[in-house]
Amino acid sequence: MEKLDLKKTRRDLFTAPHNRFVPIDVPPASYLMADGHGDPNTAPAYKQAVESLYATAYTIKFACKAAGRDFVVAPLEGLWSAPDPESFTARRKDEWDWTMMIMVPDYVDQKAFEAARTKAAAKLGTISDSLRLERLEEGLCLQALHVGSYDDEGPLLASLHREIMPSGGYDFAGPHHEIYLSDPRKVPPEKLKTLLRQPVKQG
């Protein structure tokens, strides 16, 4: 059985130059999503959201595999927003709103999601109330690869906000998006690989 790997079939969405933002046209994609607010290092809702996403994603994977269509569970991603964009460059994490996400194949429908959500909830005992299946369409974005600790993203984001976007005539067109290519439980902070993506529009 051939296993679908979204990181390979949609390679452009999971690659970018190191420390250099380049334009990318991001097509619509299906995601498992869960929302919350506050510092991801301390907010209980963040841990619950991530656990809910992974439990549901793997339940969907096993159901699809049993039906003859296996896939690799995609990396964790996050949409991050705050009233003041400087919250990110200054790392004021208690001000952040977030939506954690895992991309799933387009053939995963609402019925498959609901069945998996029910099974995951039974396994976990509790599950994020905001957990859902949703399509996301970002369109034109600027994307770069950051290598290092999440807390060291500030200078690269500051360059994006204060230099790259103004010089290119870009305005914000959606929340800051991160794709986590490394597992922080296995990779030291200085070697973590994170894609930074910002939806934009011409001002």
DSSP string, 30-76: EEEEEEEES-TTT-HHHHHHHHHHHHHHHHHHHHHHHTT--BPPPPE
- Which residue numbers in the chain have pLDDT < 70? none
d(CA 57, CA 73): 7
pLDDT at 159 (0 to 100): 95
The b-or-e profile of 81-115 (16+ CB within 10 A means b, else e) is bbeebebbbeeebebbebbbbbbbbeebeeebbee
pLDDT at 30 (0 to 100): 98
pLDDT at 203 (0 to 100): 73
pLDDT at 86 (0 to 100): 76
pLDDT at 88 (0 to 100): 72
Tokens for 67, please give them.
């039906």
pLDDT at 137 (0 to 100): 96
d(CA 35, CA 58): 19
> Residue 191: what are its φ and ψ, rounded to 5°?
-115, 5
Residues 150-180: pLDDT tens digits?
989 989 999 999 999 999 999 999 999 999 9
Residues 92-109: pLDDT tens digits?
888 889 999 999 999 999
| Number of helices and strands in the chain (H, E) | 6, 9
What's CA 76's distance to the chain center, in Å?
A: 5
pLDDT at 91 (0 to 100): 79
pLDDT at 136 (0 to 100): 98
pLDDT at 120 (0 to 100): 96
pLDDT at 56 (0 to 100): 98
